[in-house]
Chain A
Amino acid sequence: MHAALLTLGFGIVTASILALSAVAFTLQYGVTNVANVSHGEILTIGAYAAYLVHQRTGSAPAAALAAALAGGLTALAMYSSVIGPFIHFGASPTVIFIATLGLSFVIQNVLVIIFGASNVAYNLDPGAPQQIGPFLLNPLDQQIVISAIAITVVLFFIISRTKFGKALRAVSQNRELARVTGINATRVAAATFFLAGLIAGYAGFVLAETVGSFTPYFGFGFFLITLTAAVAGGLGRAFGTMAGAVIVGIVLEVVPALPVPFVGGYISASYNLAIAFGILALVILFRPRGLFTNARRTVFE
């Protein structure tokens, strides 16, 4: 029982990071109705920015800030250089999917050119683990979980209480109708990408410090899991996506800790990606609108 709870504790940490990454992805999806396949590279760039700033200043908060800012600017650049023009040009969602995959390939390779393809070690002292309720979490893990909750609360406030949030919801539901009522959809989408980029960049930083190392391909791998969480929660729905991320994050940590039925032994954690995609395939086939809905509902409910 104790071991199971410990695993659950790690699951919550993974879920927190995944929730940040997935909510950022789904916000972008919401305002543009296209999947940004280069989302993972926002995390990667966030991780590199954090690492460089951390090396220079030795301050973790400065690193976190740098990661968020780099992420925000990257996402904004992605929107204004590729996604926005393609939407304006009238390209189909599939074409934009391909274009952002190409963009992701470009960014990964440019990062290899600048930083090399080898692992960058990013080890912070996580501090001694402490007993928090039934879980055993070190201070770094605690900070990650608390910051993820704080970001969720702020995001909830922005989306539900501010004028920008209202515009964001309007554009997500119906871009044309929002336009008719005088909302500048392009600007709202650009601002949303910036906001999503801030969150994703920060997620890249916490992921890098949790894993302890990263490469230019680091974000793409995590994007595949992010996609599972976002689809499970319902693409475009911010809070559904967060719930999806919590479920996927916990499943990914718990499944490798369970003995395999009949055969015995354990599934190696290296199969994480395979497990995630198993979930993804099941969700897409049987609940294509996400786990938490059984009818056509509006975005962000």
Chain B
Amino acid sequence: MSAYLVSVLTEGAIFGIMALGLNVIWGWSGDFDLAYYGYIAVGAYMTLVLTIGAPIAPAQYILGATLPYPLAVVIAVISAMAVALVVGSIALGHLRGIYFSIVTLGAVYVMYVFAGQFVPLFDGYNGLSGLFDPMGDWFGLDYFSYQYFLMGLCLVMFALVYFLMSRVSSSRFGMALRTLREDERAAAAFGRDIYRLKLKGYLLGAALGGFAGALFAAYLTAFNTSAWSPIEVIVLYSAVLVGGRGNIRGVALGVLIMGLIVNESTRFLPSLPGVGAFNTDHPQVLLAARGAIIGLVLVLFLRFRPQGLLPERRFVDRQPAQPATDVAPLTA
């Protein structure tokens, strides 16, 4: 198995967990949440500060513990949920539609600015680094076999999250979340506490985001503000949309397709002529071409196939309406 395949599978599994978390918030609960990448970042940052030990000057960051990796992951997930609780309890109150999106966009940029500027938190733009091979020592793995171990770990975790989400999908909670997406007022009329339900869904999504972030930190071994940008959440949205919003099988398919686009689409890219003094022979071109393709896919799917490739199965009432028989005749 080539190193390329190992990295693709590891990234794909992490990306899949992120997409499944986003699917809870957007696919089921129906909220276009732009703060989602912030929870992934909180998960990654917290995992790092809890495992890499005390800062060595001039670096500075909070905590600086050397906890075992699994424990750090648990705390990172709880931290992501805590941040989501703050954002969610404000934004889910009575904001819907684009106002919800605007406030979550604001929230994630506040997180981004603080992570990048407030140095005592996560060492500002330098970010954190030095999480090498977590749990490798426990199993006595060397550097090379560790890559396989991490890949296996991420794939197992993805399978676990997938299984869990398929259970949630058909549970009463999953159904209730969907009713909010379809018709909030009807859900309220049937006695649902909309706010609490939405907040629960939001926290579940953020927890998966934080968990994916924790795995991401182990994979990258470092994290800083140039490693993430709030707007990257578009890639996740494209995956959920292309596969089939609300349908976890669709989400998995979307992750596969986006993975192919991200890794393979630019392989046959022709070289482009530069404009004037600008030179197109720079390393960002490949990255940018991927971004442009992903954005285009998002817009085209929204327009021509908003239900995605594997649409969510609609729950329909199969019993035809019975004609009313015992109704008193209408008299003039």
Contacts and interface: CB of A to CB of B under 8 A. Distances in A.
Given A99-B298, A114-B272, A116-B279, 15 more contacts: A35-B102, A86-B302, A91-B303, A98-B237, A105-B292, A105-B294, A106-B296, A109-B290, A113-B288, A114-B274, A116-B284, A220-B231, A270-B116, A273-B109, A277-B107
B280 A103 contact: no
Interface residues of A, number: 49
A86 B299 CA distance: 10
A82 B272 CA distance: 26
A34 B102 CA distance: 13
Interface in A252-281: 268, 270-271, 273-274, 276-278, 280-281
A85 B282 CA distance: 35
Given A116-B284, A224-B105, A281-B106, A95 B278 contact: no
The secondary structure that dominates the A interface is helix
B278 A284 contact: no
Nearest to A288: B99
Top 8 closest pairs, chain A to chain B, by CB = A277-B106, A109-B291, A106-B295, A105-B295, A112-B288, A102-B298, A109-B292, A109-B288
A273 B102 contact: no
A93 B97 contact: yes
B98 A94 contact: yes
Question: Among the interface residues B101, B295, B303, which one has the most CB atoms of the partner chain A within 10 A?
Answer: B295
A270 B116 CA distance: 9
A5 interface: no
Interface string B42-63: 0000000000000000000000
Interface residues of B, number: 48
Nearest to B111: A274
Nearest to B275: A114
Contacts of A94: 32, 97-98, 101
A281 B99 CA distance: 10
Contacts of B296: 102, 106
Contacts of B32: 94, 97-98
Interface of A: 34-35, 52, 55, 82, 85-86, 89, 91-95, 97-99, 101-106, 108-110, 112-118, 220, 224, 227, 231, 268, 270-271, 273-274, 276-278, 280-281, 284-285, 288
5 contacts: A99-B298, A118-B282, A224-B109, A277-B110, A285-B95
Q: B103, B284, B288 — which one has the most chain A CB atoms within 10 A of its CB?
A: B288
Q: Which among A104, A114, A220 has the greatest number of chain B C-beta atoms within 10 A?
A: A114
A278 B278 contact: no
B221 interface: no
Given A277-B107, A280-B103, A113 B306 contact: no
Contacts of B109: 224, 273-274, 277
A160 to B, nearest CB: 28
Q: Is the interface of B mostly helix, strand, loop or mixed?
A: helix
Contacts of A268: 117
B102 A113 contact: no
| Residue among B102, B237, B290 having the largest count of chain A Cβ atoms under 10 Å | B102
Contacts of A284: 95, 99, 102-103
A91 B302 contact: yes
Nearest to A101: B234
Given A35-B98, A98-B32, A271 B302 contact: no
B113 A273 contact: yes
Contact of A102 (B234, B277, B288): B234
- Residue among A91, A93, A102, A220 with max Cβ neighbours from chain B (10 Å): A102
Contacts of A89: 303
A105 B231 contact: yes
Contact of A103 (B275, B285, B299): B299
Given A93-B98, A284-B99, A114 B110 contact: no
B231 A274 contact: no
B295 A103 contact: yes
B289 interface: yes
B114 interface: yes
Question: Which residue, of B114, B277, B299, has the highest number of chain A Cβ atoms within 10 A?
Answer: B299
Given A110-B292, A270-B113, A99 B107 contact: no
Contacts of B231: 101, 105, 220
Contacts of A55: 276-277
Given A105-B234, A113-B289, A95 B302 contact: yes
B295 A109 contact: yes
Contact of B110 (A91, A92, A117, A273): A273
Contacts of B288: 109-110, 112-113, 117
Contacts of B295: 102-106, 109
B90 interface: yes
A268 B116 CA distance: 12
Contacts of B291: 105-106, 108-109, 112
Given A102-B298, A106-B292, A284-B99, A114 B278 contact: yes
Nearest to B280: A113
Nearest to B277: A55
A189 to B, nearest CB: 18
B310 to A, nearest CB: 19
A268 B97 CA distance: 33
A241 B117 CA distance: 30
Interface string B143-156: 00000000000000
A248 B101 CA distance: 20
